[in-house]
Amino acid sequence: MSTTSLLHELISASAERAPTSPAATWGHGTLSYRELDDQVGGLAGGLMALGLDRGERVGIFLDKRPETVVASFAAARAGGAFVPVNPILKAEQIGHILRDCNARVLVTSPERLPQITPALEGCHDLRHVILTRPLTKPVNLPAISIVLWADLIATPHRAGHRVIDSDLLSILYTSGSTGRPKGVVLSHRNMVAGAKSVASYLGNNPDDTLLAALPLSFDAGFSQLTTAFHSGARVVLLNYLLPQDVLKAVVREKVTGLTAVPPLYIQLAQLSWPETITEHLRYFANTGGRMPLETLKTLRAHLPQTKPFLMYGLTEAFRATYLPPEQADIRPDSIGKAIPDAEVLVLREDGTECGPNEPGELVQRGAHVAMGYWNDAEKTAERFKPLSACAPGRQAGFVLPEIAVFSGDTVRRDEEGYLYFIGRRDEMMKTSGYRVSPTEVEEILYATGLVGECIAFGVPNPALGQAVCVIATGKDAYPLDAARLLSECRQRMPTYMVPAVIDVREGPLPRNPNGKIDRKVLSAEFDAKNKAKP
């Protein structure tokens, strides 16, 4: 498509090619590429007028709306860096993120600002708050200027700071389920290379309509913008409460590409899909964890003409692998092979490459590897490490080290080069002397057809080391029969894998801010509840 190397050029290049084509839709409104590019240029000029320096951070605390898109790309065009803050986070988490990244500017709404005002008092680097509309009630922020969006957007266009593709573009904060959120630092090269790679294998084109259902603070969520704008496609911004809202948007907007996480697909699979939907939905893509096979089968029954793309990735490297649709029937439990312009390795502890079907750590090298964690040298050193001299792609004459991202995920590669996810090293259960993957347990539970949602984790046990614990809900609003599920488990699992506890819950299980079922929170709740028992 384009020869762009900087993020904001994705929009301007498409505006040059097709200025009147629709770029972004929300509710009943749509911006053309020309209109979007003009707003990005105006706000970039406004940020420069506020004194935003090269690389300074612009926090964005909004739901999915045009201002969120414009602010992200305008920060890039001005030469700054944008920090999208998940709109479901609480004031304490938001304050931590803005302090941690030393945000200079915050873009938010008059409804959201009062909720976080106390948290902003400790943000000593924050100088300006840009509001989408005027406040109806005053707030007390004596050291911070309040600026209106409408005034800044009308600023004459001007050149931003000079940046190159390896410069800081964005900081994406993880959900913080294991502690405070940590920020993954991404460059222009990371995001633009990712957009081009994903768009190439998904076949994105100007006739596509992509649904942005995931949070834009999530790498796969923001990817819906970058792949759409690189391809000259239209993106639909959706804030939804119920899975039905997603399905209705797919139908209403004649969406051609849907990307979501497994928990959402599990819920969507239980809905009634109109037969006509497969006529326009060209593909559905999974990210953020393994798609249960039963869910995949159900979706494919609903969507016989729609191509499934099963993907795996991590925020620290944007995207790692995908399984081509034609392989979905042959090896539906595989996460595929490396995406274009990336290399995925399976390495032993000593840095040498694993043999076929030998478990090892998934390690990624290439243009998508992030720049580390913001302001955290210790965690960066744990995850971003030099490849050993014997790693594939390295040559004896190389003097400088090459930094790759070590995922912490255990995988295996078969004889044909396809990868299979085994589990996260910090989540693997050790029971009766066996290492057990929570994902493997969950896969079998879903295959019973009795479970709506489930999560598995290990709990300390003096005899077993760890006992397998499961928290699960019923399917299709029916209560879960724990005794029947346990019976099915005994028939389908080796003895060491059978859950010692099945904790039945009602309704959807809690999610983390990226929409994944929150294993850490559920296991901590279970542990606290059992410790409280006499």
pLDDT score of 514 more than 80: no
Q: What is the pLDDT of residue 181?
A: 76
The residue among 423 and 450 whose pLDDT is bigger is 450
Among the ranges given (57-71, 175-189, 453-467, 484-498), the one the predictor scored with the smallest mean pLDDT: 175-189
Q: How many CA atoms lie within 13 A of 374 on its CB side?
A: 28
Query: 77-86, 360-369, 434-443, 452-461 — which is least confidently predicted?
Result: 434-443
Residue 433 has pLDDT above 70, yes or no: no
With a cut of 50, say whether residue 308 has pLDDT above it: yes
Given this model, what pLDDT does residue 176 score? 41
User: What is the reported pLDDT for 178?
Assistant: 38
Q: How far apart are CA 521 and CA 207, in angstroms?
A: 41
Residue with tokens 């580390």: 372
Helices (H), 397-448: 438-447
Mean pLDDT of 107-118: 95
Q: In terms of pLDDT, which residue wins out, 217 or 513? A: 217
H-helix or E-strand spanning residue 312: strand 307-312
Quick one: pLDDT at residue 415? 96
Structure tokens at 124: 């000593």
User: Residue 507 pLDDT more than 50?
Assistant: yes
Residue 168 sits at φ, ψ, to 5 deg, of: -60, 130
Split at pLDDT 50, 70, 90, the class of 429 is confident
**pLDDT attached to residue 431:** 79
Which pLDDT value is given to residue 438?
A: 86
Q: Which tens digit of pLDDT belongs to each residue from 62-91? A: 999 999 999 999 999 999 999 999 898 888
Q: 143-157, 323-337, 357-371, 421-435: lowest mean pLDDT where?
A: 421-435
What percent of the chain lies above the pLDDT cut of 70?
A: 97
Crossing angle for the helix pair 9-17 and 219-231, to the nearest 10 degrees: 30
- Kindly state the average pLDDT of the residues 513-527: 86
Confidence of residue 378 (pLDDT cuts 50, 70, 90): very high
Question: How confident is residue 263, by pLDDT bands cut at 50, 70 and 90?
Answer: confident
Q: Rounded to whole angstroms, what are the CA distances from 373 to 74, 192, 515?
A: 23, 19, 22
pLDDT digits (tens, 9 = 90+) for 233-247: 999 999 998 999 999
Q: What is the mean pLDDT of the chain?
A: 92
Choose the most confident range, by mean pLDDT, from 197-211, 259-273, 489-503. Answer: 197-211
Sign for the CA dihedral angle at 460, 461, 467, 471 comes to negative
pLDDT at position 472 is 95
Which of 289, 68, 294, 287 shows the shortest CA–CA distance to 170?
68
Q: List the one residue out of 233, 49, 73 whose CA is nearest residue 155.
A: 49
> Tell me, what's the pLDDT at 1?
45
- How does residue 527 score in pLDDT terms, banded at 50, 70 and 90? confident
**3-class state of residue 316 by DSSP:** helix
Q: How many CB atoms lie within 10 A of CB 179?
A: 9
What pTM value is reported for the model? 0.84
State the pLDDT at residue 289: 74
138 close to 147: Cβ distance less than 8 angstroms: no
Instruction: State residue 532's pLDDT score.
Output: 63
| pLDDT-based confidence at residue 449 (cuts at 50, 70, 90) | very high
pLDDT band at 229 (very low <50, low <70, confident <90, very high): very high
Q: Which two tokens stand for residue 107?
A: 């873009």
- Torsion (CA) 40, 153, 104, 383 in degrees, nearest 10: -20
Intra-chain end-to-end CA distance of the chain, in Å: 65
